[in-house]
Amino acid sequence: MPFGNTHNQLKMKYSAEAEYPDLTKHNNHMAKALTPAMYQRLRSKQTPSGFTLDDVIQTGVDNPGHPFIMTVGCVAGDEETYEVFKELLDPVIEDRHGGYKPTDKHKTDLNPANLKGGDDLDPKYVLSSRVRTGRSIRGFCLPPHCSRGERRAIEKLSVEALSALTGDLKGKYYALKNMTEAEQQQLIDDHFLFDKPVSPLLLASGMARDWPDARGIWHNDNKTFLVWVNEEDHLRVISMQKGGNMKEVFTRFCTGLTKIEELFKTKGHEFMWNEHLGYILTCPSNLGTGLRGGVHVKLPNLSKHSKFEEVLKRLRLQKRGTGGVDTAAVGGVFDISNADRLGFSEVELVQVVVDGVRLLVEMEKRLEKKQSIDDLIPAQK
């Protein structure tokens, strides 16, 4: 609950055992890492803004599991959450991010020149390309915890920064609560409009409070660069276009992000970042790069192949339906993206996607011709 930490002190009159959540039927990262002893040690703590352990874990307590993916089950309410509750979050991060240790360092690389190739994915198979990440503004609480005043301040700062973008990044902001019916329909047709979250994973963490106050969508006139304000994170930044030119998408992504960061700095603000966790976001699964680079790609034959899942795993790729994280694929068209977020740089992750998708398309073409793909099966990356 936002800034209402008085309640945490009242809980201390009950024993840790009496307050400990029932996680016997749970299967998420938080439930795996939390123990009664850890709960006892952490429950009297709070971040400077008043975020408590129970605030961190509420979404994981309320949502025992998910049919498709192993959920994280905890969120941060501010930058300090990752420090104050590191005893819980470090093992969660290690489990979620492939063994990432508390002492590891994360590399940030937003130089698109370092990406090799990526401009030639076959558009007969690769229908669209997209890269997204998130950014948080240092000094403000995150969506699960922010007050209305904070959220509005975040919106104001963000809109000011975005309105200073020029050239092919020049665009316009549409506040959710002010948009006209015509604007709303256009944004829906462009597949840009985000709606109030319905997923209980998000609702239980408190990030949908006061909807649609201070939420909105900004996009450039070309409709290839899009920013969501105050949805699951302060900012979600998306570069996208039809076809397979991931290099162009990534270049615009990096240029846009760098420019936005500069603009924030001129106003005395910076993004939450540190050399251990990279960019700080609400969900621990998005730490590091917060980057999901992916394509919508037609793989009707490959997706029926018995080795499909194994190939994806070895390529460090993940499949989703084209409706997003909670959907299944329709008509052999898959959303294929990087599985990792932390411990690899942005360039490295997009390279993984580019190289991996190229291979998947090659496999699809072989299977179309009824040829074997055995010699193409990769080793584990």
What residue ranges bind other proteins (CB under 8 A)?
1-15, 18-22, 49-50, 54, 58, 61-62, 147-150, 152-153, 177, 203-204, 208-211, 213
Residue 317 Cβ vs other proteins, minimum distance, rounded to whole Å: 35
Omega within 30 of 0 (cis) for the link into 212 = yes
Task: Give 138 or 314: the residue with its C-beta nearer to other proteins.
Answer: 138
Residue 323 Cβ vs other proteins, minimum distance, rounded to whole Å: 22
Residue 47 Cβ vs other proteins, minimum distance, rounded to whole Å: 11
Residue 212 Cβ vs other proteins, minimum distance, rounded to whole Å: 9
Distances (CA, A) of 96 to 33, 55, 83, 246, 285: 11, 20, 17, 26, 7
Residue 175 Cβ vs other proteins, minimum distance, rounded to whole Å: 11
**What residues form DSSP beta bridges with 126?**
297
* Known binding-site residue numbers for ATP: 128-132, 191, 236, 292-296, 320-325
The Cα 110–Cα 113 span in angstroms is 9
Task: Give 18 or 379: the residue with its C-beta nearer to other proteins.
Answer: 18
Angle at 312 between CA 306 and CA 317, to 5 degrees: 160
Q: Which candidate, 14, 22, 78, 15, places its Cα nearest to that of 52?
A: 78
Residue 64 Cβ vs other proteins, minimum distance, rounded to whole Å: 10
Task: Give 18 or 182: the residue with its C-beta nearer to other proteins.
Answer: 18
Neighbours of 328 (CB within 10 A): 12
Q: What are phi and psi of 349, to 5 degrees?
A: -70, -40
Contact partners, residue 361, CB within 8 Å, separation at least 6: 121, 122, 125, 126, 297
Task: Give 176 or 311: the residue with its C-beta nearer to other proteins.
Answer: 176
The Cα 379–Cα 373 span in angstroms is 14
Task: Give 88 or 121: the residue with its C-beta nearer to other proteins.
Answer: 88
Task: Give 45 or 116: the residue with its C-beta nearer to other proteins.
Answer: 45
Task: Give 59 or 289: the residue with its C-beta nearer to other proteins.
Answer: 59
* Residue-wise burial string across 25-35, b where 16 or more C-beta atoms lie within 10 A, e elsewhere: ebebbbbbbbe
Residue 198 Cβ vs other proteins, minimum distance, rounded to whole Å: 10
Q: What is the DSSP string of 230-272?
A: SSSSSEEEEEEEESS-HHHHHHHHHHHHHHHHHHHHHTT--B-
